[in-house]
Amino acid sequence: MAVQPDDVLDACGLPCPLPLLKAKQALARLEAGQLLEVIATDAGSWRDFETFADQSIHELVEREERGEVFHYWIRKGEEPGS
C-alpha cells in the first residue's frame, strides 16, 4: 500500500488476542483520521481485525497477507460528539 501511516505497530510473534489489544492501545494515542499500520503473524488476526472494524468507529482501510505476515491499515474514526 502506498499510503504513509501515522504510526506502525509491530505485533509479530504475539498470540491472539494481543495484536488486537495492542492495536486498540495504539489507536487511542492517535487523532481521528490518522492511519495505523499493524504488522502481525497471528493468523487469527485476519478475522479479529475485520470483526473489530465492523463493530467499531474505525475503518479497516486495507489488509494484506505477505507470506506468514499480515499487514493491516486502520483509520481511526471520530468519537461521537467530537
**80: its cell numbers:** 461521537
Active site residue 16: yes
Among candidate residues 14, 16, 18, 60, the one labeled active-site is: 16
Q: At 47, phi and psi to the nearest 5?
A: -75, -40
The CA–CA distances, whole Å, from 15 to 34, 43, 47 equal: 26, 9, 14
Task: List the catalytic residues.
Answer: 16
